[in-house]
Amino acid sequence: MSKKTTTSNQEPNISALVNEHVNNLDDKGKLQLPDDMPDWQKHVIRGEKRTRDAQSELSKTQTQLRESVAVNGVLMETASTMVPDDFQLTDDELASLNRLKVDDPDKYRLEVNALEAKAKEAQKTKLTELTTQAAEEATTAHTTKNRVTVLAEFRDANPDLVITDDVLVNDVPPRLLAGVTNGTYAYGEYLEKVKAYLGAGKSVPGNEQDPHNIHSTPGSNQPGKKAATNAGNDAYAKMTF
């Protein structure tokens, strides 16, 4: 067992303690801490582990973002200028255009220019629709991942407060979640408001399954009033929990 680093008053040096244990992971990447370590020290180390993971992820994300912006610019520029050779015309329209090429070359060129402009505009519209959809899906995925992290931190900080789907659906006023939906406050603030509403330090009855696994409890897997009335709303499921 490694020797604990202490200060002159025999209290553990927090920085040294964190550095000693923060990388002590099992083969699945799960943090391993001594059973006899005080809960507050475990909480500090877990928090630092999440912070370092977040910083590493942020650096990776920023690099990927720069690369994606560059690639996206090239692809959008290229794709927006690509139009089908037949301009998506019918056979009769193509035949008429080809006859015009022989009968009136000048008019033919004007027609082709107009068709190219129309096709490029349609291509840009389609690309905008596709990229907007992709961006919305990416935002939803990021929000979901972020809220999972926030919820995990909240549970670590409040081990006696059990939050299940049933509690969020049936015991928490919908107005609290509405504040997250309309951007009045963040998801972490929502959880604090839930804690205040349920009562500080009050344990909420769970069931025989893992009480902290909100996806293993009976009922809707989409907390909030909207989830209670519309359990099939996937978008809401992604954005709430």
The string of pLDDT tens digits covering residues 189-241 is 999 999 998 884 444 444 444 444 444 433 434 444 344 344 334 433 444 44
Q: Write down the pLDDT at residue 71.
A: 82
Task: Read off the tokens for 71.
Answer: 């690639």
Q: Which amino acid is at 83?
A: V
pLDDT at 218: 39
pLDDT per residue as tens digits for the range 9-33: 445 688 888 888 888 888 888 888 8
Residues 214, 209: Cα–Cα separation, whole Å: 10
142: left (phi over 0), alpha (psi -120 to 50) or beta: alpha
CA distance 20 to 65: 33
Question: What is the arithmetic mean of pLDDT over 88-114?
Answer: 86
Closest to 162 measured CA to CA, from 94, 112, 211: 211
